[in-house]
Amino acid sequence: MENITVSNKLDKVRIGLVVSVIFLLFVLVWIWGPTPESSIETETITKTEIMIQTVFGTTTITSTNSPIMTITPTSTTTVFGTTTITSTNSPIMTITLTSTTTATITRTITVNTVVDKRVEPIAFVVHQRSNDIYIVDLETDEVVSTFNIGDNPHEVVLHPTRPLLYVSVAGSRMVSVVDIDSFDTVAMMPTDYYPHGLALTQDGNYLYVTVDHPQQVWVFNTEDNTRIAVIPVGIAPHMIVVDSTDTFAYVTNTISDTVSVIDISSNTVVDTIDVDEGPEGVAVSPDGKILYVANQDSGTISIIDTDTRQIIDTIDGVDGKPIRVAVTPDQRLILVTHFNDDKVTVLNATTTEVLASLQVGPRPIMIAFHPSENIVYVSNLGSNYISIIDIENLKVTGTIEVGDGPDGIAIFLPERN
């Protein structure tokens, strides 16, 4: 009887050990088992699209009044959609261009599904040297997609209500319009010469583009992407900003040392403001009352009353080629990027006192604000990364590795759509 009892006890111990071992093995398999496949799938897509493309002086043109032809132009003049061409292999001819008057190119897009599931802000970063756009998830600070855009892109803006991205592609001499849902180029707006600064009206109905030669601002209707106005401004217009009420646009003219004031309702220059040497960066306060101009050659910031259009203060000693200026949404701080000193200066907007001088990357240029957090992003044109600044504590907290020569930044907030 005693032996049976002991045997039963041993059996229970063995069963307990077996159960324990099975449980332990289950736990180990659960912990160290095969990693689930990532939900982020990446694929490469080659898209064939329509755009204007000139290679070594040879342009392929399709028009409404001529067959497809290839000519080598010796001179070209374009006026409101009509191009007169003199070439070495054809007589003088006039071709009326349409929206399909273009050559065909291909571009490669690396797409991943995280973009389609976006719930956090996304940054679109253009690169002057690698000729592409990187899409950065600002929740993880990681690049999630890339796509080619054209030769030497500079600035980028997002439509306020539609999923459209506008990019000034200087080397390709056009503004490209990209659908950020499909990554299709839905329109190309040729500018003949180098486009640079971009500004949309607050309602998104009109796009203003600076064209450096022959010193003009071109205005496009964003509904059909047609040019509706050409506005003569100063020499070498560069950056442009539209105020919060869609009343005026302000253009920096880097060689004229002036700011042109454009009346939005009439698309005419109504005033010209003299500033210091080499104005380039420009920002208007959210309430529209103050205009800030970064004068890179004189190392100053001009502060202008937009009602009187008079300079009310000048911040001196802003060395290192101040190239961009921005105002925080709460109007408390002014930020300036110093292109030659690799730093960002933060000033009190009321007193103009310098609060911090922050070391960032080489050739810092564009400044962009996180839509809901106290974070600023600065593109470093001489590098392959963006600097992240905690604007509340005034310190650099990290970097985001992107492509070669990051310049313009536009931030998309999914909730707005």
Phi, psi of 31 (to 5 degrees): -75, -45
pTM surpassing 0.75? yes
pLDDT tens across 200-248, in order? 999 999 999 999 878 999 999 999 999 999 999 999 999 999 999 999 9
Point out the residues of the chain with pLDDT beneath 50: 1-6, 27-42, 48-107, 112-114, 117, 416-417
* pLDDT for position 404: 95
Please state the three-class secondary structure of the chain as a single string.
CHHHHHHHHHHHHHHHHHHHHHHHHHHHHHHHCCCCCCCCCEEEEEEEEEECCEECCEEEEEECCEEEEEECEEEEEEECCEEEEEECCEEEEEEECCCCCCEEEEEEEEEECCCCCCCCCEEEEEECCCCEEEEEECCCCEEEEEEECCCCEEEEEECCCCCEEEEEECCCCEEEEEECCCCCEEEEEECCCCEEEEEECCCCCEEEEEECCCCEEEEEECCCCEEEEEEECCCCEEEEEECCCCCEEEEEECCCCEEEEEECCCCEEEEEEECCCCEEEEEECCCCCEEEEEECCCCEEEEEECCCCEEEEEECCCCCCEEEEEECCCCCEEEEEECCCCEEEEEECCCCCEEEEEECCCCEEEEEECCCCCEEEEEECCCCEEEEEECCCCEEEEEEECCCCEEEEEEECHHHC
Domain ranges of the chain: 43-96, 109-318+404-416
Q: Do the beta carbons of residue 55 and residue 104 sit within 8 Å?
A: no
* pLDDT for position 254: 97
Q: CA 115 to CA 109: how far, in whole Å?
A: 13
Peptide bond into 286 cis (omega under 30): no
CATH class as words, domain 109-318+404-416: mainly beta
Phi, psi of 292 (to 5 degrees): -115, 130
* pLDDT for position 118: 56
* pLDDT for position 406: 97
